[in-house]
Copies of this chain bind each other. A is one copy, B any other.
Amino acid sequence: MIKRRLYSPGPTPIPPDARQAMSADIDYHRSAEASEAVKECARLLKTAFQTASDVAVFASSGTGGMECALVNCFSAGDPVLAVRSGKFGARWVEMAQAYSLDVQPLEAEWGDSVDPAAVEAALNARPETKGVLATLCETSTGALHDIRALGEIARRRNVLLIVDAVSALGADEMRMDEWGVDALVSCSHKGLMTPPGVGLCALSGRAAEASKNANLPRYYFDYAKNAARFAKGSPPFTPAISLVYGLRASLETMMSAGGMEASWARHARLASAMRAAAAALNLRLFPRVPSNALTAFRAPDGIDSQAFVERLRQNHGAVFVGGQDALKGLLIRVAHLGWMDDFDIVSAAAALERGLSDEGYRFSPGSAVEAAQRSLLNS
């Protein structure tokens, strides 16, 4: 009788239409019907990315989408700047090193968001820099970055802005073309409400132009080939066709519920309620500027967050996650991402209370639930 409730920042719950689409008999990916589904998915992804560019769709994780951005935009030895304020910023640095880019990490405290002025200063100090690698939501800390401001800087200086929006696409405002983002990366299993297995990457016209001279080797993650052929319904390699059917259905659900602006607004509302719940329990929000994809707060003194989330999952079915790398044991993270509604947030608050109560943490029972519900009814 333990019901599992998924509040992890990926994978996230799947809407019924998508589940149904994925449970159909498996289809031959070159049939006329599958080709139509592929094309429609590609078309909807342009709206999700807020871009006129074609989106490349890979059988891969989000990391594969990141790799697509790097190998198509740069050449070995290119100087790039990578914002590192958590595990996923660190991944940009590692990946750039693996591809022999001349990467300069720009450190920000974990939990902090990089100051755009610091990016500008770093570019001043190294004017030959060709690209900035950034993260919309640093999932390891829950921090949101000001991509719009970074876009302005990148445009002024004519450097490529590469953005990992793996966890926050659909949750936080993200306007690829309008903000001047040159490579935008995401995946299926976070805000896009589909199981893991599809990585996504779109390039701006400038990035696509730059890719013609970028000499890093690429084959599987070749943007031009994948994006153009996906848009025509004829992927270069076998797509994860069942997941593509699911993704199409989830995108249709999202678009019929008001599209991206409605999705951003809904996530903002749910995130506010979750933050209110945490505040009511005197829990300290970790990021200075929180993303609406997830809420990360410090575990109370004396509570190991990894043990806490493991017990909560085992005993009560609610799947929160702990901290990563340097934050192991210290952070509790609760995602409100994708296929989530008001009552899910009230349940998350209830689960949080239950878990803390089991640990002997002192608080007024019902206070988090009440705070969440008050926030939701008032917004």
Which residues of A approach B to under 8 Å, CB–CB?
A: 4, 6, 8, 10-14, 19, 22-23, 25-32, 58-64, 67, 76, 94-95, 98-100, 187, 189, 195-199, 216-222, 237-243, 310, 313, 319, 321
A11-B28, A31-B313 in contact; A240/B197 too (CB < 8 A)?
Answer: yes
- Across the interface, A60 reaches (CB within 8 A) one of B12, B25, B59, namely B59
- In the complex, chain B residues whose CB is within 8 Å of the CB of A218: 98
5 A-B interface contacts by CB (under 8 A) = A6-B26, A11-B241, A100-B217, A196-B239, A220-B221
Inter-chain pairs besides A58-B60, A63-B237, A98-B219, 12 sampled, C-beta below 8 Å: A4-B27, A6-B25, A8-B28, A8-B30, A10-B238, A11-B28, A59-B61, A60-B60, A76-B217, A98-B222, A189-B238, A217-B217
The 4 closest A-B pairs by CB, nearest first: A197-B240, A98-B219, A61-B237, A195-B242
CB closest residue in chain B, given A246: B242
Q: How far is the CA of A19 from the CA of B24 in the complex (A)?
A: 10
Q: Which residues of B contact A25 (CB under 8 A)?
A: 4, 6, 13
Q: Which residues of B contact A14 (CB under 8 A)?
A: 26
Cβ A216 vs Cβ B219 within 8 A: no
Residues in B whose Cβ lies below 8 Å from that of A239: 61, 196
Q: Known A59-B61, A217-B217, A321-B28; judge A238-B99 contact (CB<8 A).
A: no
Which residue of chain B is the closest to A235 with respect to CB atoms?
B61
Is A219 touching B99 in the complex (CB atoms < 8 A)?
yes
Alpha-carbon distance A302/B190, docked complex (angstroms): 51
What separation, in Å, do the CA atoms of A64 and B199 have in the docked complex? Answer: 13
When the two chains form their complex, are residues A220 and B29 in contact, meaning their CB atoms are under 8 A apart?
no
